[in-house]
Structure 1
């Protein structure tokens, strides 16, 4: 059965969306991403009947494991993190397709064995030469692995009707130059349509609902422009610190880790024009138009903010500051909080600032998009009647309480004309009986089906770095000149005073999620 992405044809939600004969080769099987997200998602897809009976999973790592040892690792991951219930019959069928290949990324013998293993699976499991290579490894190793795949004939399908695909995780480089180098490495081995860059936020139901809400309803689009919108706030807040990720995080920072990918993708979906269809090319064209229209303010010192969390209280416990975390240098200038102001130079959005912020050790974990509207040009009420009234706002909650909130003014019961803000709330959990699949379920299935609308292409990645690079360079110059360093904010609060001042200069304030 040919699968059509539900964004293109909602009727397909009623049909089984089953991948054809195929397998997945997973590099980096010992990492948290594989254990907590990828392996459980594969089981959940199998449990929902969306994988073929002969699906195979090959693990590749520097471990002295046999096939059964790898199967036990997957079993433990599924038991701990799978979304759906554990069913023995599903597990047994899935586990029959597990194989493990030990070796390093520069080990020719190991990649020869990987090729033989895949050929054996094509015969034993009927995978028909269709395999996706999932690189759940640091980007510095991408070149080694894809080079080995090319050298050992693994990047070429087993026949004219078979396919080979590669899946890479963010970060897609650390600046524009490195992103271009990474894209060149991948494009040298795989055609562009076979390269899938995973941004798991694009797999979330509520992110996709931005498109549904905008273009399936007539009430929003007429006011989705500079005539009515005052500004837009996009927030991704985390209540946890860096944990054990000091080696990765120090030198990367909040802007590279979140703004360059997640938040700029969200901004593109909010700001894009209506596509001619929801296929990959049409969506990509409209998102690229938004990213290529972004203009940075001239005074980056006044329109950006960065900071590091200091010690404080989180979850009722005393927590250390960023510079006290194990593995972090005391002289580190890596930011754990970043906020930027962006302008989109189009007729629809001229004069509407987009405020993007992200941070660790903030008040609570939340991701949301807030469309804040202008105040009514004339209000026939006394000032005292509306003193508690703020702007209307449409808030799209991405996580954890998925839904939409509309804030508007309403009269307080009583004889006096007093108007206050009220909220009209839509929650996914209260409106739909079926639970939303995890983002990785949707994205992995789309990889196996060869359906790319939810995956950013290299043009989007490079445009995103063009936006972020000048900001990072500005901060680096401040550090080098000794003119500035990251501010600090107490853990458990909502960020530094410099971020509040950034909006206050425009007469605005951050929303308190």
Structure 2
């Protein structure tokens, strides 16, 4: 894991920016081992929203630059309100330019390749219409049926209240129908979170969708799984013989999974008031990280093999108890305003902006090992990581050294904003006596691989076009995740208490006490980058 190691496989190194012509035959070579996706019509419901502007359009642009979109690609943006296609594209183009120039953006490339944007935008059109209007779906049907391929993906980049009516109308107008005799024509449905708000609503939504589409057509998306550093967790675990033998309860003391942000709700007060940090992050994003680090080895990376192991893992999560969960809400501090002072937030709001939980997995590999999860807004640092702490060694032979000087062995998978791994361990301090000192070995992706613009949706969109469901959630896994947290969402003793913490802090003290009960403490948010 030393930074001094040399990367010898030059074939896997890809240029950070590729030039592109007016069509796929003029594009730069696709990344090694990847082929362009088949032609299709991508219909984006919610084309005027933030998701389309900040994530979907930059991702489609990056796929264009990499030569992974077919010349027959067509994109239809559906949204409320009359608007000319040119005005819509101008807005998207300006945003793309801003993201490319912003060094803090995951879309940062310095500048937009105008040929690539021209190629992509020439295949995009805007359609004004209500999401519940039948004439919109008839118009879509006519457009799609005129294409030579007949393939279509329907992306629901809309509020959850529109999931049902859109799916229902797609089904009733025959837009989700796949003909087995049509040379493999596909129709697929991409649904963003929140997929339900608890177990009952998730089951109900699944049942409604499956009236109109087969499970194999439904792609429940979680953008965390589009991050290269998240996908790399499986590679680190299963492609290196040094990890698998100790990746179990006999050697691992505990695991901490952190997703901390320095930002507040950033104008999303209405959404956050209805959702809160726990629903927004724990049963989806954090549980997905939990699954990647804890699932049993699949026989292959085939979609159903991986998703099957995830389903087993979610089934093995012990239902969370309210006493093992802490809610918090940021108050005015050095780093910003209080949550209750944010726009569209009630002045007496009890919505949590922080959540911590102690989770156990009841299977042979992990029984008795606590997984500590935490997520929060307006925290001391922006950090998403998984810290795997190994059990302490016997101290007797080191009696000449202060016990506190023996640092625990901790292997950290760094997901955001740092990308890589870190391992903390002990060595002998030079000198005549056996004195121990803590050292650290660090691997950073940028030391070995060229940086690429990536917002996390590129892989997910590409996989959906290919029909690869590996990184998408099945109905049973969704329901198992909600089942594990349902007692916290509907506690018998009334609503969960929400504790205050200063904006820019480390969370409420009650979260520290959650770990202190077990003789443990949270990993520091600041430092040790």
Judge conservation of contact 1:294–1:342 (CA < 8 Å) in 2. Answer: yes
Matched, 1:195 2:211: no
Q: Which of 347, 353, 358 is the aligned partner of 1:336?
A: 353
1:152 to 169, 173, 180: 173
Greater mean alpha carbon deviation, residues 414-423 or residues 281-290: 414-423
* Greater Cα offset, 87-96 or 452-461: 87-96
Is structure 2 residue 97 aligned with structure 1 residue 79?
yes
What SS class does the counterpart of residue 424 from structure 1 fall into?
strand
SS state at 2:457 partner = helix
Q: Which residue of 2 aligns with 1:478?
A: 494
The alpha-carbon deviation at position 386 of structure 1 amounts to 4.0
Query: What is residue 430 of structure 2 aligned with on the other side?
Result: 413
What's the counterpart of residue 343 of structure 2? 326
Partner of 1:511: 523
Q: Aligned-residue CA RMSD in angstroms? A: 2.0
Contact 1:386–1:419 (8 Å) recurs in 2: no
For 1:93 and 1:402, the matched residues in 2 are separated by: 32
Give, in angstroms, the shift of residue 31 of structure 1.
1.3
Structure 2 segments unaligned to the other structure (5+ residues):
1-11, 13-29, 101-106
Aligned-partner Cα distance in 2 for 1:448–1:41: 13
Q: 1:208 aligns with which of 228, 231, 235?
A: 231
Q: What are the Cα deviations for residues 26-83 of structure 1, in whole angstroms up to 9, with x where unaligned?
A: 1111111110000111111111100011211101011211222222233223222353
* Alignment match of 2:133 (pick from 107, 120, 123): 107
1:47-62 superposed matches below 5 A: 47-62=65-80
Q: CA deviation at 1:276?
A: 0.7
**Which residue number in structure 2 is paired with residue 366 of structure 1?**
383
How far apart, CA to CA, are the structure 1 residues paired with 2:87 and 2:220?
29
Q: Deviations over 1:458-511 (max 9, x none)?
A: 11100000011111222x7333xxxx6201101111111100000001000000
Provide closer, same or farther for how the CA distance between residues 256 and 297 of structure 1 changes in structure 2, counting only shifts above 3 A: closer
* Range with bigger deviation, 90-99 or 210-219: 90-99
Gaps of 5+ in 1: 1-9
Q: Secondary structure at the match of 1:455?
A: coil
Question: Deviations along 1:78-124, whole A, 9 cap, x unmatched?
Answer: 2223535522322222222212211111222222222223334x1xx
- The question of whether the paired residues in 2 share the 8 Å contact of 1:296 and 1:341 is answered with no
Residue 38 (structure 2) aligns with: 20
Match of 1:220 in 2: 243
Determine the C-alpha separation between the residues in 2 that align with 1:297 and 1:469. 8
Structure 2 residue aligned with 1:3 = none
Gap change, CA 1:251 and 1:64, over 3 Å in 2: closer
Pair 1:266-2:284 in alignment: no
Distance verdict in 2 for CA 1:104–1:477, change over 3 Å:
farther
In structure 1, which of residues 233, 237, 240 is the aligned counterpart of residue 256 of structure 2? Answer: 233
SS at match of 1:252: helix
**Scaled by the length of structure 2, what TM-score is found?**
0.88
Higher mean displacement: 383-392 or 503-512: 383-392
Q: Report whether the alignment pairs 1:39 with 2:57.
A: yes
SS of the residue 2:69 aligns to:
coil
- In 2, distance between residues paired with 1:348 and 1:218? 17
Name the SS of the counterpart of 1:361 in structure 2.
Answer: coil
* SS of equivalent to 1:78: helix
Task: Answer whether contact 1:306 1:335 (CA < 8 A) is retained.
Answer: yes
Indicate the SS of the match to 2:397: coil
Shift of residue 366, structure 1, vs aligned partner: 0.7
Deviations 1:301-345 (A, max 9, x none): 2x221110111122xxxx111122222113322111111111111
- The answer to whether the aligner puts 1:116 opposite 2:142 as a matched pair is yes
Which of these residues, 159, 176, 180, is aligned with residue 138 of structure 1?
159
Decide whether the 8 Å contact of 2:154 with 2:189 is kept in 1.
Answer: yes
| Residue in 2 that maps onto 1:499 | 511
Instruction: Please give the per-residue CA displacement for 1:14-37, whole angstroms capped at 9, x wherever unaligned.
Output: 233210111210111111111000
Aligned residue number for residue 6 of structure 1:
none
DSSP 3-state at the match of 2:493 = helix
Q: Paired residue for 1:402, among 408, 416, 419? A: 419
Name the SS of the counterpart of 2:398 in structure 1. coil
Where 1:77 maps in the other structure, the secondary structure is: helix
Tell me the equivalent position of 1:4: none
The answer (yes or no) to whether the contact 2:400–2:435 under 8 Å persists in 1 is no
SS of alignment partner, residue 443 of structure 2: strand
Distance apart, 1:418 and its partner CA: 2.6
SS of 1:387's equivalent in the other structure is helix
User: What residue in structure 2 maps to residue 5 of structure 1?
Assistant: none
Distance change >3 Å, CA 452–CA 493, structure 1 → 2: same
Matched residues in 1 for 2:339 and 2:91: separation? 32
Partner of 2:16: none
2:502 aligned partner: 490
Structure 2 SS opposite 1:425: strand
Partner Cα distance (1:262, 1:297) in 2: 16
Q: How does 1:442-481 map to 2 (within 5 A)?
A: 442-474=459-491, 477-479=493-495
